[in-house]
Structure 1
Amino acid sequence: MTTDSLGAFDPISTLRSAHTTSLALAATSGVNRSRAVQAMAQALCRRQMDILEANTLDLEISREMAISDLLLEWLKLTPERIQNTVQILNRLSELPDPIGRVMPANFQVDRAQTYSQLMPLGVVALIYEAFPELSAIAAGLCIKTANCLVLRGGNEASHSNSVIAETLAQALEDEGLPIESVQLLPVESTPIRDLISQDRYLNLIIPYGRPSLVQQVVRQATAPVLRSAMGNCYLYWSPSGSLDLARSMIVDSHLSEPDPVNAIEKVLIHRQQNFSSLVMLWDSLREKGFEIRGDVNLVEQFPGLRLTEDVEWGQAYLDRIVSFRMVDGLTSAIDLINHYSSGHADCLVSESYQESRQFALGVNSASTYINTSPRFYRNPKRGDAIFLGMSNQKGHRRGLIGLETLTTVKHIVQGVGS
């Protein structure tokens, strides 16, 4: 952070220093950056009690301010959540360095060799509410990809964010990397609009939190935005699909912690669906703590069901609520999903291969899940990847937000001389 001669905070100077630092960071070796990520993990372990104490203070203040239960759950840190973050950073440190990876180019030039190479973006800004551990995960991803990270959290997590940012900066300094590589902007003196309009210094903005925050950033930003999405995922339960599989997919999709990124909140059913199976599904979900809602047709059939308002079909509940709606078939389901879904993870339960292909190709979403849970994992057990979240846009790197999302491609044309 940078202050002027009168002691006031100057966000422009902070972004300028991050931009300058990003040029130096891009020249560092992958080995040194991996060591720095590992050092960040170790530092979080050492300061776990300090972080938890700061988080307790944030929780107490937030409860007094009547912050919503949703944000309180996102805000809450536990030893397990901190250790999960440590595991993610340790695993990140062990992954291959993505920077400098050489790939064949999709064009050639006479008397020259042409190839592509992954390069850092430069300066990434994470604008987030609650989720204090997310700053450490984003820092790990950015350092691994030789990007500088600028953090702008919310008031509700100010103490937690401050301790975590100090911890990360100290680890970077201990490893010989510039502490300006990861910087936390103070909430009270950094309006979001002032930050996201600095396209001269920012190369990418990632908003993370409730849809209202994401939409605000998308509307006001002049720098590139990687829009993240959470909730309002759809499932079409075909008449040929298994009841047990539909139930398990819905329940499991809500279990990612603390943010059910790919939670199934809307279920479309065929008009010919067996109503006894539907009631069995509802009863099972209610036993798991879910609230069930339905469209006009279902409410007429089951008067005790709460009506889903029209506006709800395009909104995320971010809670254990599932709304059901009757459709004429797969084509109608695809049309509804493309109109109302958040567009990052939508699902199908069907025994028909033809339906599976039509759904996979017809749904306009970043990911489709067929007969399998869409549950989101930041640290999947298989594969070499760590994910920050999911993006539902068709622009920069749609889908899972991982290491390659924070890189760009440089084309290099090497001539052989005259």
Structure 2
Amino acid sequence: MVLEKSLRLSLKRAYEDSFELEKSTKQQRNQAIEAMAKGLTQASDEILDANTLDLLEAREMARPELITNWLKLTPERLQNAVKIIKIIAQLNDPLDRRIYRLQQQYNLPQSYCRATPLGVILFISEGFPELGAIAAAMAIKTGNSLILRGTGESTHSNEAITRVLQSALAQERLPSHCLQNFSPDIGNSLPDLVTQQQYIQLVIPYGRPSLVNKIWNMSTVPTLYSVMGNCYLHYANSGDLDLAQSMIVSSHQSQPDPVNAVEKVTVEENYKSFALIKLWKNLKQDGFELRGDQQLTEAFPEYLNLVNTEEWGLPYLSKIVAFKLVKNLSEGINFINQHSTGHSNCLVTDSYTESRTFAQRIKSTFTYINCSPQFFRLSQNEEAVYLGIANQKDGRRGLISLESLTTIKQVIEGL
């Protein structure tokens, strides 16, 4: 694919600067990340003004409400990003990892594995301007160059944030091209970017399934398949319905992106009608829209609207929950494995046997049994930061963490 000369030069510089960044010390990188956090705080008014321009343009272009909500950068969201970036600077250096016991061809006692940067990471986001800043801090922490690429709705916000972050890097004398913002307005198409394996080592798309699928299908560069929403909860008749309600409600509280939101519930036959009605009333009071399959909708038309068949395999990414009647746990597991996104699924039960069966047979990255699947970008103990969750079945499956942005180098030393 023919690439514009200026774009190729920018990619080449990012790639070359990734080698320079790898030479920097962890103290230099941490100081730069702290400077990034300080710069974002000092420039908060400028960044919020730029975001206001993006919101005005988004409304003029009739962008979906979901995208507008993801785009809207409140002072609280910006300060939360600053908090996360400060903590990234304090975390242990992921490049310090050493593994001394490894499978190899040689019986040499000094052989080991060490973590190394990937090189250049392309982060493509649909909204979420503050997430680009967090991704930049994670990239610098791991010694990688980062290219930010929005999808058109966050142009002003991304430009303002990138200027602040680049200034912080220059202040700490880190390579000037290891962080760049590629605006869609300057003629770089997504197919052009995601096929540049000569310069880019990893692509992370983040947004609606339509965007992630598009990037996944066209990319010739290794890609993290990030997912959100369409998580399932199976309610066993032995389970606590109040617990099920708590798990559903809390799963939707990871704002603004509902990564682990429970949007589908499978219910076993011989359910207690009064208990389900209580659950539905409470969910409606919490602002949820409720849907159901034909059997449940015909039995409870005053509480449920009929779900379309294709909805079982798609995320709502809003406060909507659909209920499906199944014969038993086994049928529920089969239905979930067929229709969920496969990253986080839940079970509510009082049976040890059912919990072991579910844990063994469910095909998902994370399995939650009698506990909330709520996603936290900053772990509750503040010892880890996560961009999101990837669900492909390979070595990068699971939480997208600092370790996800590194690879392993084997070092074999002679005596």
> Which category of TM-score, normalised to the shorter sequence, fits these structures?
over 0.9
Query: Partners in 2 of 1:23 and 1:105 — Cα distance?
Result: 28
Which residue among 72, 79, 87 is the counterpart of 2:75? 79
Which residue among 269, 274, 281 is the counterpart of 1:283? 281
Question: Residue 172 of structure 1 aligns with which residue?
Answer: 169
Shift of 1:303: 2.9
Q: Is the 8 A contact 1:117 1:410 kept in 2?
A: yes
Q: Percent identity?
A: 47
Q: Deviations over 1:17-63 (max 9, x none)?
A: 11111111111111111111111000000100000000011111111
Question: Residue 401 of structure 1 aligns with which residue?
Answer: 400
Amino acid at match of 2:135: A
The 5 A counterparts of 1:45-60 are 45-60=41-56
Query: Partners in 2 of 1:10 and 1:340 — Cα distance?
Result: 44
Query: Partners in 2 of 1:123 and 1:332 — Cα distance?
Result: 44
Q: Deviations over 1:139-175 (max 9, x none)?
A: 0110000010011112111000100011111100001
Gaps of 5+ in 2: none
3-state DSSP of counterpart to 2:227: coil
The 5 A counterparts of 1:186-225 are 186-188=183-185, 189-225=187-223
Which residue among 8, 14, 20 is the counterpart of 1:18? 14
Gaps of 5+ in 1: none
Query: Partners in 2 of 1:226 and 1:11 — Cα distance?
Result: 23
Query: Partners in 2 of 1:111 and 1:221 — Cα distance?
Result: 39
Question: Residue 157 of structure 1 aligns with which residue?
Answer: 154
Query: Partners in 2 of 1:35 and 1:227 — Cα distance?
Result: 31
Amino acid at match of 2:111: T
Question: Residue 232 of structure 2 aligns with which residue?
Answer: 234
Compared with structure 1, are the counterparts of its residues 111 and 373 closer, same or farther at alpha carbon in structure 2 (3 Å cutoff)? closer
Q: Which moved more, 1:178-187 or 1:108-117?
A: 108-117
Amino acid at match of 2:301: P
Q: Is the 8 A contact 1:11 1:195 kept in 2?
A: no
The 5 A counterparts of 1:354-393 are 354-382=353-381, 384-393=383-392
Question: Residue 306 of structure 2 aligns with which residue?
Answer: 307
Compared with structure 1, are the counterparts of its residues 111 and 380 closer, same or farther at alpha carbon in structure 2 (3 Å cutoff)? closer
Shift of 1:383: 5.3
Question: Residue 273 of structure 1 aligns with which residue?
Answer: 271
Query: Partners in 1 of 2:181 and 2:113 — Cα distance?
Result: 33
Q: Is the 8 A contact 1:107 1:114 kept in 2?
A: no
3-state DSSP of counterpart to 1:207: strand
Which residue among 57, 60, 76 is the counterpart of 1:61? 57
Amino acid at match of 1:378: R
3-state DSSP of counterpart to 1:57: helix
Query: Partners in 1 of 2:48 and 2:393 — Cα distance?
Result: 38
Question: Residue 90 of structure 2 aligns with which residue?
Answer: 94
Q: Is the 8 A contact 1:105 1:411 kept in 2?
A: no
Query: Partners in 2 of 1:136 and 1:100 — Cα distance?
Result: 23
Amino acid at match of 2:337: N
Q: Which moved more, 1:360-369 or 1:84-93?
A: 360-369
Question: Residue 119 of structure 1 aligns with which residue?
Answer: 116
Amino acid at match of 1:59: L
Compared with structure 1, are the counterparts of its residues 24 and 237 closer, same or farther at alpha carbon in structure 2 (3 Å cutoff)? same
Compared with structure 1, are the counterparts of its residues 136 and 354 closer, same or farther at alpha carbon in structure 2 (3 Å cutoff)? same
Amino acid at match of 1:41: A
3-state DSSP of counterpart to 1:292: strand
Query: Partners in 2 of 1:341 and 1:308 — Cα distance?
Result: 15
Which residue among 32, 37, 50 is the counterpart of 1:36? 32
RMSD (Å), alpha carbons: 1.3
Query: Partners in 2 of 1:186 and 1:10 — Cα distance?
Result: 13
Question: Residue 316 of structure 1 aligns with which residue?
Answer: 315
Query: Partners in 1 of 2:183 and 2:257 — Cα distance?
Result: 24
Q: Is the 8 A contact 2:108 2:412 kept in 1?
A: no
3-state DSSP of counterpart to 1:256: coil
Query: Partners in 2 of 1:383 and 1:184 — Cα distance?
Result: 28
Q: Deviations over 1:73-126 (max 9, x none)?
A: 100011111110000000000001111311123225234422111111111000
Query: Partners in 2 of 1:133 and 1:373 — Cα distance?
Result: 25
Query: Partners in 2 of 1:107 and 1:57 — Cα distance?
Result: 55
Q: Is the 8 A contact 2:152 2:183 kept in 1?
A: no
Question: Residue 261 of structure 2 aligns with which residue?
Answer: 263
Q: Is the 8 A contact 2:112 2:411 kept in 1?
A: yes
Amino acid at match of 2:361: G
Query: Partners in 1 of 2:270 and 2:24 — Cα distance?
Result: 61
Query: Partners in 2 of 1:89 and 1:192 — Cα distance?
Result: 28
Q: Is the 8 A contact 2:87 2:382 kept in 1?
A: no
Q: Deviations over 1:184-235 (max 9, x none)?
A: 0121211111100101111100000000000000010000000100100000
Amino acid at match of 1:129: E
Query: Partners in 1 of 2:396 and 2:286 — Cα distance?
Result: 35
How many corresponding residue pairs?
A: 410
Query: Partners in 1 of 2:338 and 2:61 — Cα distance?
Result: 37
Which residue among 125, 128, 133 is the counterpart of 2:125? 128
TM-score, structure 2 length as denominator?
Answer: 0.97
Amino acid at match of 2:145: C
